[in-house]
């Protein structure tokens, strides 16, 4: 398995995994070093034996050879590796002898017109290592790597704190997505009620699908962090638990915001359907008035020209025509006045 890092194609806009060659990045943090440094894959076996050292192995788009390497080098359980290969697992924490298997989902970059998509991140957590496995480039992991390199003090060699850095980077990546959806929903509501924006139901349904995707990825994290907050973990030190509590609070904030936005989207959809129904009713009222006016004119001119041996008012010449025209106009006026009194011409 090659060492170092390379650039990969990201996930496709539809959320599917794009084909990419396997690659990895290995970093190690030691108490004697000011910051984590990159190392070669071949040195992992020796570094795992070092007391106080912490390894982060980030593996992108693994193939069968890379999965076998994880099995041989770290001794990961076959069921966990099977989940890595199959993908599309629910966010969870599984405990195996000597390590934990964690599944998270990170948001992927998308435009305003696209539904939000997420990418699975599989994590193996041991006493002195963290292994992250994913398919395609994930910006949240790059941010976590940058944050880890800036850590100073004893926390830089704590696997619990490194797990917090990765999980917190993933959670923080959701906030801009959620805030963008909230701004768009507020703008849609304001424009809809002010009459300057004509919405389509599919625009609102687009946001509801995005919120559903976000909630599906974030809601199980409550259970995940509840497990992390237990004090019986043999791989986490006590000084890392406050950081897990902070990340848990962020998850609750996201869920509260998402629930509010789902209510906003539902309300906007109902309001849009109500407005559309009112507009249709108003159009039907006006068409009804128009139909009555046409019927009145048809009745008068039809009766005047077809049902008499001699056309009425014909002896008056042009004056007779204008007499009939005036009578027709008067009849239309009576129809319009009556329609107005009945509210058929009023804008609701």
- Would you place residue 12 in the very low, low, confident or very high pLDDT band (cuts 50, 70, 90)? very low
Give me the chain's average pLDDT, please. 79
Both tokens of residue 304?
A: 């005047």
**Whether residue 261 is found in the same domain as residue 307:** no
Contact of 9 with 21, CB cutoff 8 Å: no
What is d(CA 113, CA 161) in angstroms, rounded to the nearest whole number?
A: 36
- Kindly state whether residues 240 and 311 are assigned to the same domain: no
Residue 320 counted as domain residue: yes
Q: Is the pLDDT of residue 25 over 90?
A: no
User: In angstroms, rounded to a whole number, what is the distance separating the alpha carbons of residues 146 and 321?
Assistant: 90
Interatomic CA distance for residues 144 and 130, integer angstroms: 12
Residue pLDDT, tens place only, 246-296: 999 999 999 999 888 888 777 777 766 676 777 777 778 778 777 877 777
The highest-confidence range among 47-56, 82-91, 105-114, 297-306, by mean pLDDT, is 82-91
Stretch 180-188: mean pLDDT: 83
For 68-86, the pLDDT digits (tens) are: 888 888 888 999 999 999 8
Describe the crossing of helices 159-194 and 201-218 by its angle, rounded to 10 degrees: 160
**Percent of the chain predicted with pLDDT > 70:** 78
Domain final residue, candidates 273, 306, 326: 273
Find out whether 83 and 92 touch, Cβ atoms under 8 Å: no
Among candidates 219, 37, 2, 28, which has minimal Cα distance to 131? 28
Residue 12 lies in a domain: no
Torsion angle of the four alpha carbons 298, 299, 301, 305, in this order, in degrees rounded to the nearest 10: 120
Residue 80 within a domain: yes
Q: How many CB atoms lie within 10 A of CB 98?
A: 14
Between 335 and 54, residue with greater pLDDT: 54
Pinpoint the alpha helices (H) of the chain: 44-48, 64-74, 78-86, 139-149, 159-194, 201-218, 221-228, 241-306, 318-341
**60 DSSP β-pair partners:** 23, 134
Once rounded to an integer, what is the mean pLDDT over residues 195-206? 66
* Per-residue pLDDT at 5: 37
Number of domains in the chain: 2
User: What's the pLDDT at 132?
Assistant: 93
Same domain for 148 and 248, yes or no, is yes
266 Cβ partners below 8 Å, 6+ apart?
Answer: 208
Half-sphere exposure of 17 (CA within 13 A, CB side): 17
245, 337: one domain = no
Residue 19 scores a pLDDT above 50: no
- Domain range for residue 293? 277-341
Burial class (CB in 10 A: 0-12, 13-18, 19+), 196: exposed
Of 239, 273, 307, the last residue of a domain is: 273
Strand order in the sheet with 23-29: 37-38, 23-29, 54-60, 129-134, 118-125, 99-107, 92-96
CA nearest to 92, candidates 129, 57, 123? 123
Q: Does one domain contain both 134 and 252?
A: yes
Q: Are residues 116 and 245 in the same domain?
A: yes
pLDDT at 303: 65
Mean pLDDT of 231-247: 80
260 and 153 within one domain: yes
pTM over 0.75: no
The answer to whether residue 347 is domain-embedded is no
pLDDT value of position 6: 35
Cα distance between residue 245 and residue 229, in whole Å: 7
Structure tokens at 324: 């009939």
Looking at 230, 251, 273, the residue that finishes a domain is 273
- At 74 the pLDDT is 86
d(CA 83, CA 102) in angstroms, rounded, equals: 11
62 part of a folded domain: yes
Q: Are residues 257 and 324 in the same domain?
A: no
Spell out the residues 6+ positions from residue 50 whose beta carbon is closer than 8 angstroms to its own: 30
Are both 111 and 53 inside the same structural domain? Answer: yes
Can you tell me the mean pLDDT for 150-178? 88
Does 189 lie in the same domain as 248?
yes
**122 in Cβ contact with 74 (< 8 Å):** no
Q: Is residue 116 predicted with pLDDT exceeding 70?
A: yes
Specify the CATH number for the domain of residue 267.
Answer: 3.30.460.20
Q: To which residue do tokens 């359907």 refer?
A: 273
Q: Which residue has the higher pLDDT, 139 or 207?
A: 139
What is the 8-class DSSP label of residue 158? -
CA distance 287 to 343: 14
Residue 3 falls inside a structural domain: no
Give percent of the chain with pLDDT exceeding 90: 18
């Amino acid at each position: 398995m090659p060492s170092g890092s390379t650039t990969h194609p990201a996930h496709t806009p539809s959320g599917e995994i794009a084909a990419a060659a396997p690659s990895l990045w290995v970093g190690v943090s030691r108490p004697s070093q000011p910051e984590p440094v990159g190392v070669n894959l071949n040195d992992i076996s020796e570094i795992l034996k070092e007391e106080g050292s912490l390894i982060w192995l980030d593996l992108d788009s693994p193939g069968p050879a890379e999965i076998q390497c994880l099995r041989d080098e770290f001794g990961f359980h076959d069921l966990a590796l099977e989940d890595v290969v199959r993908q599309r697992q629910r966010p969870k924490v599984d405990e195996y002898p000597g390590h934990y298997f964690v599944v998270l989902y990170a948001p992927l970059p998308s435009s305003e017109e696209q539904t939000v998509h997420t990418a699975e991140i599989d994590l193996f957590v041991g006493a002195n290592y963290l292994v992250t496995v994913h398919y395609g480039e994930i910006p949240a992991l790059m941010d976590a790597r940058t944050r880890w390199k800036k850590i100073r003090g004893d926390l830089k060699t704590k696997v619990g704190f490194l797990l917090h850095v990765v999980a917190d980077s993933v959670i923080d990546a959701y906030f801009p997505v959620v805030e963008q959806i909230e701004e768009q929903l507020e703008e849609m509501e304001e424009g809809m009620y002010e009459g300057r924006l004509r919405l389509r139901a599919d625009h609102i349904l687009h946001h509801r699908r995005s919120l559903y995707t976000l909630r599906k990825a974030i809601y199980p994290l409550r259970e995940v962090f509840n497990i992390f907050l237990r004090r019986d973990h043999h791989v986490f030190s006590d000084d890392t638990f406050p950081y897990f509590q902070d990340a848990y609070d962020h998850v609750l904030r996201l869920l509260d915001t998402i629930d509010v936005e789902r209510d906003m989207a539902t309300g906007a959809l109902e309001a849009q359907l109500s407005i559309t129904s009112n507009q249709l009713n108003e159009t039907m009222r006006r068409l009804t008035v128009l139909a009555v006016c046409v019927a009145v004119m048809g009745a008068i001119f039809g009766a005047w020209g077809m049902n008499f041996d001699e056309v009425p008012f014909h002896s008056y010449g042009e004056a007779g025509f204008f007499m009939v025209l005036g009578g027709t106009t008067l009849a239309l006026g009576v129809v319009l006045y009556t329609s107005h009194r009945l509210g058929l011409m009023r804008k609701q």
